[in-house]
Amino acid sequence: MLRRWSVVVRLQMNFPLLVIVGPTAVGKTATAITLAEKLNAEIISADSRYLYVGMDIGTAKPTPAERARAPHHLIDVTTPDRPWTLTQVQAAAYAAIDAVHARGKLPILVGGTGQYIRAITEGWQAPGGEPSAELRAELEAELARGGVSALAERLRAVDPASAAVVDLKNPRRIIRALEVALTSGQSFMAQRRKKPPPYAISTLGLSLPRPELYARIDARVEAMLANGLEAEVRALAAKGYGWELPAMSALGYKQMGAYLRGECDLAEAVRRIKHDTRVFVRRQANWFKADDPKIKWIDVRHNRELEKLNIDSFGH
C-alpha cells in the first residue's frame, strides 16, 4: 500500500523550492500546473528540450493553454543552433527562482533532465580548464571523423572516472569533459565542486509501474504524430538547422530525421521513437533513484494522494 504522507511547503522558511521529478510521460507537467494553481506558484523548467524555440510537439512542451494557467520559465529561450551550457541553465534557473521568491510566490522546479535538476539543487560549480580554440577544433574534428564512439573511447582512456558518469551518447558533454581533463590534467568529475543554494528544497517524485508508463509513452508518440510531428521536423530542417546539432538529435527529432532523409520508413521511425524513449526512461531512473531519501515518491494513479498536497505540510 502506498505510504500516506502530506506535502509541506513552509513559506516561513527562507527560500522554499519545490522540485518535481520523474520519468518522461509520467505526468509532471499536469501535476506541476495543478500545484502551481493551488499553491500560488510559478514553474521553472528543468527540461533540456524545452529550451528550444520551434521544438514543441516532439518535446511535449506545455501548450499555450497550459502555460496560461501558471507562469513558466526557461521555455523557448534559445534556438536549436544555439545550445545552452549547463552553467547557463543553472544561472538562469537561479535567477528565475529568486525572481519568483521576490514576487512572494513559490517556485516549482520541474523536469526529467537529471543533470539539470542536480546541478541546480546541489549547486554544482563549473570546473576549470577552459579550452583553447585549437583543442575545441581538434575534438570537433575527431567527432566528425570517428563519431561519438571515438570521443567516448578517448574519454575512457583519459578520464575513466568521468566516462563512467558522463552520458556517452552526448558529444557535447564528452567534449566538455575532455576539454577539462586535457587542459587541467585532472578529472572532470573530480573538479566538480558543489555550493548548495540557499533553498529549503522538498522533492516530489512521480512514478508509474513500467508497463503503464510504456503504454503512456506509446500513446504520446502516436498523439505527436497526429498533431504534426513530421511537419515540425520538416520545418526545422527547412530553416537550416542541421541534423548534426545536439537539439536535432533529441528523441523524436533524430528518428524523424532518419525518415525524412530516406534512411527508414515512417513505421520504423515511430518504432524507434517508442523504443528509444523507453531506453531513455531507464537512464532517467539512474538520476532519480527510487531509494533516494530526499525524494518523496507517489504513484500518479493514486489521485487522492495528489489531492492531499497542500501548503501546510511536506513530508512530516
Write the single-letter amino acid at 69: R
- The verdict on pTM exceeding 0.75 is yes
C-alpha cell at 76: 523557448
Average pLDDT over residues 123-132: 71
**C-beta separation of 166 from 177 below 8 A:** yes
Structural domain 128-191, CATH architecture: Orthogonal Bundle (1.10)
Complete DSSP assignment for 100-128: HHHTT-EEEEE-S-HHHHHHHHHTEEPPS
What pLDDT sits at residue 4? 37
Q: For the chain, what are the domain ranges?
A: 16-124+194-307, 128-191
CA triplet 271, 275, 278: central angle to 5 degrees?
A: 145
- Closest C-alpha to 8, from 28, 30, 35, 45: 35
16-124+194-307 folds as Rossmann fold (3.40.50)
What radius of gyration, in Å, describes the C-alpha atoms of the chain? 20
Q: Which residues contact 74 (CB under 8 A, 6 or more apart)?
A: 44, 45, 46, 50, 51, 89, 92, 93, 96
Q: What is the mean pLDDT of the chain?
A: 88
pLDDT digits (tens, 9 = 90+) for 41-97: 999 999 999 999 999 999 999 999 999 999 999 999 999 999 998 889 999 999 999
pLDDT score of 7 more than 50: no
Residue with the three cell numbers 505527436:
224
pLDDT at 253: 98
Domains 16-124+194-307 and 128-191 belong to one CATH topology: no
Confidence of residue 208 (pLDDT cuts 50, 70, 90): very high
- pLDDT cut 70: percent of the chain above it: 89
Q: What is the mean pLDDT of residues 243-250?
A: 92
According to the model, what pLDDT value does residue 309 have?
67
Cα–Cα distance between 294 and 311 in angstroms, integer?
19
Residue 55 to residue 250: CA distance in whole angstroms: 10
Q: Per-residue confidence at 126, pLDDT binned at 50, 70, 90?
A: confident
Q: Confirm if 180 and 128 have CB atoms less than 8 A apart.
A: yes
Contact 200, 17 (CB under 8 A): yes
